[in-house]
A = this chain, B = another copy of it.
Amino acid sequence: MSDVFKAMADETRRSLLDQLFDNNGQTLGQLTQSLDMSRQAVTKHLKILEAANLVSIHWQGREKLHFLNPVPLAEIVHRWVGRFEEAQLDMLVELKAQSESKDQSENRKKKQHGL
């Protein structure tokens, strides 16, 4: 899981994923063209994306084709969406409780404000 988040944490790597969104199955050379850095630097980024299982490769002659693998991110992200949506509900409950607690002294006037 850490691998996926770390892979996503870099702008260059997100840009590589963007490129593959737009046009799946590109070669290293193609992916490098749009990036203003050396081929070897791009190779390293792609290795990290591969390690995170976000990109899979397919050799065709001397060309290395790169394909998006959406599965691990979809999984991870669905999980965190769930957790955060729960938390969001909790937070609403809590804010409500806090505001009620603050309003104890004057709770008949029903005035409320948050943090």
Contacts and interface: CB of A to CB of B under 8 A. Distances in A.
Interface of A: 2, 5-6, 8-11, 14, 20-21, 24-25, 58, 60, 65, 67-71, 73-74, 77-78, 80-81, 83-88, 90-91, 94, 115
**Copies of this chain assembled into the complex:** 2
Given A60-B115, A73-B84, A77-B77, A5 B2 contact: no
Contact of A8 (B9, B24, B86, B94): B9
Given A25-B94, A80-B77, A85 B70 contact: yes
Chain A interface, DSSP helix/strand/loop, else mixed: helix
A69 to B, nearest CB: 8
Closest 9 CB pairs of A and B: A70-B84, A9-B9, A5-B9, A70-B88, A6-B9, A70-B87, A5-B8, A77-B77, A74-B84
